[in-house]
């Protein structure tokens, strides 16, 4: 069954956001050396979901949860079929997988994630 596998927190000022979440929850937050992205380790891998932080792209951008699915493409089609909308089409994260972003019927955003080390 698809489950939440990742979350993203947008920031306006990385140092301020990093300090806030580190002091509040004790999360370990480090910059990814390969991209403009900060990886969040929430601690206990058996209990929590890890995530990331990135520069806010648009003023209304909020925290986004990603759901692990077998196929982003098929899930995006089903979102549309059920009355939702695709905000970002299937997009590669090279060497890691694919993602897409959607809106549900209530205008809530969520992401879809498909692991695929061959993604380019």
* Cβ atoms of 88 and 101 closer than 8 Å: yes
Q: What is the pLDDT of residue 46?
A: 76
pLDDT over 90 (residue 44)? no
- Mean pLDDT along residues 47-54: 93
With 0.75 as the threshold, say if the pTM is over it: yes
Q: Is 78 helix (H, G, I), strand (E, B) or coil?
A: helix
Q: What CATH number should be reported for the domain whose range is 69-120?
A: 3.10.180.10
pLDDT in tens, 83-98: 999 999 999 999 999 9
Which regions of the chain carry the CATH code 3.10.180.10? 1-64, 69-120
Q: What is the pLDDT of residue 93?
A: 95
d(CA 83, CA 23): 40
- Domain 1-64 indexed as CATH 3.10.180.10: yes
d(CA 99, CA 112): 5
């Amino acid at each position: 069954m698809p489950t939440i596998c990742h979350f993203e927190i947008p920031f306006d000022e990385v140092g301020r956001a990093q300090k806030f979440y580190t002091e509040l929850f004790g999360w370990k937050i480090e910059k990814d050396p390969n991209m403009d992205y900060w990886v969040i380790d929430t601690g206990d891998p058996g209990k929590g979901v890890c995530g990331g932080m990135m520069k806010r792209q648009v003023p209304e951008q909020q925290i986004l949860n990603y759901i692990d699915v077998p196929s982003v493409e098929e899930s995006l089609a089903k979102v549309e079929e059920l009355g939702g909308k695709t905000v970002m089409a299937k997009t590669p994260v090279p060497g890691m997988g694919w993602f897409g972003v959607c809106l549900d019927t209530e205008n809530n955003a969520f992401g879809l994630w498909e692991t695929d080390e061959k993604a380019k």
